[in-house]
């Protein structure tokens, strides 16, 4: 399924991801993670981007964010990733692209937003780098269950989710639905919103663009 031109909805949550070029590692040690987090924090503040969750993996990154302006996403990630690329290549004595093309994104409705938070924070578990999401120190998981700090300033998710720390711990400690995992990956890679039919149709009206996937094949002929 082809990737569409990026759609940005101010005030709505988006899933963001970007991988290292050809799957290469973009973080080698703690210094890299800390430097990336420092610069991302700087540019989210500068360009008006709220972060609700994140996970920094060795060769890719994931975020759930809410843009305050139409250009918040592009300015934040393009600027931060360009600066980090220059730093990384200089430190590793490397040349060429660090990141694989432009970052991927998709808009989320409220029910999918909650599941997407879990999807992001459980990345280390799926990759078998941690037994529990909150054991990976380069994510927001420990902060969200009140047992750790966050490297990046986070928006308070209690504004959107009515769960106690223990309830959220139980939620991110449980496995995701395989269908949801498949859907969020597909929608993020294609740029199409992940939500109900009504939600997506409302976005189509707002942006005056086709965002739903059309059925394959020719339309059926109507009988006389």
Residue 79 belongs to a domain with what CATH number?
3.30.70.1290
Q: Residue 207 domain-assigned?
A: no
**221 within domain boundaries:** no
Report yes or no: 138 and 123 within 8 Å, Cβ to Cβ: no
| pLDDT per position as a tens digit, 81-134 | 999 999 999 999 999 999 999 999 999 999 899 999 999 999 999 999 999 999
| β strands within the chain, DSSP E | 14-19, 49-56, 60-67, 104-107
Distance CA(89)–CA(29), nearest Å, equals 14
Q: How far apart are CA 134 and CA 40, in angstroms?
A: 21
Specify if 1 maps to a domain.
no
- Rounded to whole angstroms, how far apart are CA atoms 182 and 199? 19
Give per-residue pLDDT as tens, 13-52. Answer: 999 999 999 999 999 999 999 999 999 999 999 999 999 9
Residue 169 in any domain: the answer is yes
102 part of a folded domain = yes
Domain residues for 81? 14-202
Look at the chain and report how many structural domains it folds into: 1
E strands, 72-135, where? Answer: 104-107
């Amino acid at each position: 399924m082809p990737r569409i031109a990026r759609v940005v909805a101010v005030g709505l949550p988006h899933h963001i991801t970007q991988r290292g070029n050809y799957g290469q590692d973009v973080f080698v040690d703690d210094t890299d993670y800390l430097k990336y987090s420092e610069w991302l924090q700087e540019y989210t503040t500068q360009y008006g981007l709220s972060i609700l969750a994140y996970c920094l993996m060795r060769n890719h990154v994931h975020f759930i964010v809410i843009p305050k302006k139409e250009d918040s996403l592009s300015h934040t990630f393009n600027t931060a990733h360009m600066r980090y690329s220059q730093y990384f290549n200089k430190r590793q004595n490397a040349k060429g692209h660090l990141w694989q093309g432009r970052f991927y994104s998709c808009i989320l409705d409220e029910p999918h937003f909650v599941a997407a938070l879990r999807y992001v924070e459980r990345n280390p578990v799926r990759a078998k780098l941690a037994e529990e999401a909150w054991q990976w120190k380069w994510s927001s998981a420990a902060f969200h269950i009140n047992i750790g700090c966050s490297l990046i300033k986070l928006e308070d998710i209690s504004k959107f989710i009515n769960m106690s720390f223990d309830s959220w711990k139980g939620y991110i400690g449980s496995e995701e639905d395989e269908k949801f995992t498949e859907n969020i990956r597909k929608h993020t890679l294609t740029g199409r919103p992940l939500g109900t039919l009504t939600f997506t149709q409302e976005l189509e009206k707002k942006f005056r663009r086709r965002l739903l996937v059309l059925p394959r094949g020719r339309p059926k002929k109507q009988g006389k």
